[in-house]
Amino acid sequence: MSEEEQPRWSDVLKRRLANSNKDARSEEEIKAEETELFTKYYTEWKGGGGNNKPLSNIPRFYYKLPAEDEVLLQKLREESRAVFLQRKSRELLDNEELQSLWFLLDKHQVPPLSGEEAMISYESYLQVRDKAGPKCKNFFTARVYAKLLNNDPYGRISIMHFFNYVMRKVWLHQTRIGLSLYDVAGQGYLRESDLENYILELIPTLPQLDGLEKSFYSFYVCTAVRKFFFFLDPLRTGKIKIQDILACSFLDDLLELRDEELSKESQESNWFSAPSALRVYGQYLNLDKDHNGMLSKEELSRYGTATLTTVFLDRVFQECLTYDGEMDYKTYLDFVLALENRKEPAALQYIFKLLDIEEQGYLNVFSLNYFFRAIQEQIKLHGQEPVSFQDVKDEIFDMVKPKDPYKITLQDLVNSCQGDTVTSILIDLNGFWTYENREVLVANDNDSIGAADLIDS
């Protein structure tokens, strides 16, 4: 075609513009068409088509657990979990590999020493990572190195601190796998029966429990398990996350009993030790005067210094699980854990529920007066001058400093760090007396210390 016969681009544009002006559709119709076209092309681009096709692209994320009568599926699930846990266990460092890692770290230490500690630089740290093997690579990250930095002028970290970190991580993974073997449901938590089986099978591996008679095993297991459930299952769901068990210190306390040379003081302060378990069970037997294996309200009133108020004990038997008005050993353990750990939020929650007689979620002046009247009655029985409730009430509100000046919530008690003192004032004559005479007791302690220093000199 010759140059003259070709249409000029300006003419083409004019015709196109003229044709576009002839579109009689409204703006709404044009927008609707654009939206429709966009949806169509976007759906095609994403791989969809019809109305139900996009759903097929969502990967399955929920698998229903097999029912009790589906024996084959349950066995398959158990076997697959066992294989998975074995594979995870093989991925962990064994004793020989840990020893090899220690030799490598020691070989790559960078002088000078920091005090008596061998140190390693980041460059040497990376060299050890490359030589240590694939199992160790997850430990040798920049994040871990940065966490372990501790004001070293050369930017190094302690070899011992790093090795302890690796040991702790390996122990946590080993314990996680060990606990998971008892997770029958395979959902990441242990029921009471699961944890009982775990501790029962752990007893022979703990030298500090060698002296326990087999007839006492069931009571020991019950005593140990209650501590886990009292503190880690505040909503009383009957199960605890394995993650929560690993995060708390209870497992450390339990496994501390592997130490054959554990001091007497450490054993007495450890809830899981044989002396501690025998002490708690012995107290229970001593309180059980009629030897029926249960505690009545009158028998429980002799607990500790026998100064708990009758009003408080009434509330215990109203709120806690009893059998024909008597308390079994498991319920007694919850009671002991609450009263022996009054500073802990879980213990305060237990006691707060008993103090909240109107179930309003807070304590008001009426609640405080209701419980303190029993303290006043006990004071009169001992021939002492009764203390004014108004004074005690003002002191309690001053100690707690609640958000609402007329109501004390559980969170107020926890935040104030005075929850143990407040609850002792309201439920225990001995606790109230200790608080009331705190200045005298402190002065006596100081005098005793001064006298001891004088004798020493």
Please report the pLDDT score of residue 25 as a whole number: 72
Nearest to 87 by CA among 173, 188, 199: 173
- 117 CB-near residues (< 8 Å, 6+ apart): 158, 159, 160
Cα 216 to Cα 376: distance, rounded to the nearest angstrom: 42
Please report the pLDDT score of residue 59 as a whole number: 78
- DSSP state, residue 388: P
pLDDT tens digits for range 42-54: 887 776 555 555 5
Identity of residue 184: V
Q: Distance of CA 300 to CAs 236, 286, 323, Å? A: 23, 10, 14
Please report the pLDDT score of residue 444 as a whole number: 56
What is the pLDDT confidence band of residue 77, given thresholds at 50, 70 and 90?
A: confident
Q: Is the pLDDT of residue 457 over 60?
A: no
Share of the chain above pLDDT 70, in %: 91
Mean pLDDT confidence for 216-236: 95
Please report the pLDDT score of residue 340 as a whole number: 95
What is the pLDDT confidence band of residue 55, given thresholds at 50, 70 and 90?
A: low
Q: Angle between the 217-232 and 192-202 helix axes, to the nearest 10 degrees? A: 130
Mean pLDDT confidence for 418-431: 95
Q: Is the pLDDT of residue 336 over 70?
A: yes
What is the pLDDT confidence band of residue 252, given thresholds at 50, 70 and 90?
A: very high
Q: Is the pLDDT of residue 456 over 70?
A: no
Q: Is the pLDDT of residue 436 over 50?
A: yes
Q: Is the pLDDT of residue 249 over 80?
A: yes
What is the pLDDT confidence band of residue 301, given thresholds at 50, 70 and 90?
A: very high
Rounded (10°) CA dihedral 288, 291, 294, 297: -50
Please report the pLDDT score of residue 452 as a whole number: 46
- The pair of three-digit structure tokens given for residue 251, joined into one six-digit string: 């497992």
Q: Is the pLDDT of residue 17 over 80?
A: no
Please report the pLDDT score of residue 251 as a whole number: 92
Share of the chain above pLDDT 90, in %: 70
- DSSP state, residue 50: S
Please report the pLDDT score of residue 454 as a whole number: 41
Task: Calculate Rg over the CA atoms of the chain.
Answer: 35
What is the pLDDT confidence band of residue 100, given thresholds at 50, 70 and 90?
A: very high
Nearest to 156 by CA among 120, 124, 109, 115: 120
Bin 306: left if φ > 0, else alpha if -120 < ψ < 50, else beta: left
In this structure, the number of other CB atoms found within 10 A of the CB of residue 124 comes to: 18
Report the length, in residues, of the chain. Answer: 457
Least confident of 26-35, 81-90, 442-451: 442-451
Which residue did the predictor score with more confidence, 247 or 56?
Answer: 247
- The pair of three-digit structure tokens given for residue 172, joined into one six-digit string: 């946590």
Nearest to 227 by CA among 215, 240, 214, 217: 240
Q: Is the pLDDT of residue 56 over 70?
A: no
Cα 198 to Cα 221: distance, rounded to the nearest angstrom: 9
- DSSP state, residue 177: H
Contact status, residue 182 vs residue 169, Cβ threshold 8 Å: no
Q: Is the pLDDT of residue 67 over 90?
A: no
Please report the pLDDT score of residue 453 as a whole number: 53
What is the pLDDT confidence band of residue 250, given thresholds at 50, 70 and 90?
A: very high
List domains and CATH numbers for the chain.
71-180 (1.10.238), 185-287 (1.10.238.220), 302-452 (1.10.238.10)
Q: Distance of CA 46 to CAs 40, 55, 395, Å? A: 10, 12, 68
Average pLDDT for the chain: 89
Contact status, residue 272 vs residue 254, Cβ threshold 8 Å: yes
pTM value > 0.75: yes
Mean pLDDT confidence for 33-37: 87
Q: Is the pLDDT of residue 118 over 90?
A: yes
What is the pLDDT confidence band of residue 375, given thresholds at 50, 70 and 90?
A: very high
Tokens 């390693």 belong to: 120
Identity of residue 283: Q
